[in-house]
Amino acid sequence: MKELFLIYKNEIIYTTIIVVSLLIIQFTMKKAAHRVGKQSEIHISRTRLMLKYINILVSLIAVFALAFAWGIGYKDLSLIFSSVFAVIGVALFAIWSILSNVTSGIILFFSFPYKIGDKIRIHDKDAPIIGVIDDIKAFHLHIINDEGELVTYPNNLILQKAVSLIKKDVYLDEGKDSL
């Protein structure tokens, strides 16, 4: 065991530094997401979604950094990641709308002026929607219309349409069960 540590001493030290640094960065980013969520009164489920995105980002950075620390060369690493990104790129091109909705979900987390419980009107000329925001997911909004139906509306479209606030915090006024 001692010989193993002596052989890989630098790699183990670099790994320790990388792991500690990334844990500090992850902790800081999660605290910032919680602070933004609290200050903006964002529902906890949306904050948890941002925490998942932070975990994915930190994991990808960890893979890159640890690969360099353990001596995988730039050429080898670039070959592996260019191949992986080529396959991912083709797959994402095939499902670009999903990527668009996830990106819109991130934008909505930070800048959407309406909250869960607000009654809104989406000014869509083909099918206008009036209802209460029940939940904001990664891909779409859940809206309960006046007839009590659940309407899912894609996040990328909510950023493209005009939205009016009819009444703030309907759930607080009437109770969620009354819808």
Which pair of tokens denotes residue 176? 């969620």
User: What would the mean pLDDT of 18-32 be, rounded to a whole number?
Assistant: 92
Q: In this predicted structure, what is the pLDDT of residue 24?
A: 94
Q: Is the same domain home to 120 and 55? A: no
Q: How far is CA 70 from CA 16, 18, 19, 76, 80, in A?
A: 12, 11, 13, 12, 15
Q: In this predicted structure, what is the pLDDT of residue 178?
A: 44
Domain housing 37: 2-94
Q: What is the CATH number of the domain that holds 138?
A: 2.30.30.520
Asked if residue 101 belongs to a domain, the reply is no
Among residues of the chain, what percentage have pLDDT more than 90? 22
Q: Is the same domain home to 6 and 86? A: yes
Q: Is the same domain home to 10 and 84? A: yes
User: What would the mean pLDDT of 145-161 be, rounded to a whole number?
Assistant: 90
Contact 128, 166 (CB under 8 A): no
Contact 121, 107 (CB under 8 A): no
Which pair of tokens denotes residue 73? 């060369």
pLDDT one-digit tens code per residue, 155-171: 888 888 889 988 877 65
Rounded Cα–Cα distance for residues 36 and 41 (Å): 8
pTM (2 d.p.): 0.52
Asked if residue 136 belongs to a domain, the reply is yes
Domains of the chain: total:
2
- Domain boundary residue, one of 64, 94, 124: 94
Q: In this predicted structure, what is the pLDDT of residue 92?
A: 67
Give the pLDDT band of residue 17 (cuts 50, 70, 90). very high
Q: Is the same domain home to 74 and 121? A: no
Rounded Cα–Cα distance for residues 100 and 95 (Å): 9
pLDDT one-digit tens code per residue, 60-100: 889 888 888 888 777 777 787 788 878 877 776 767 777 78
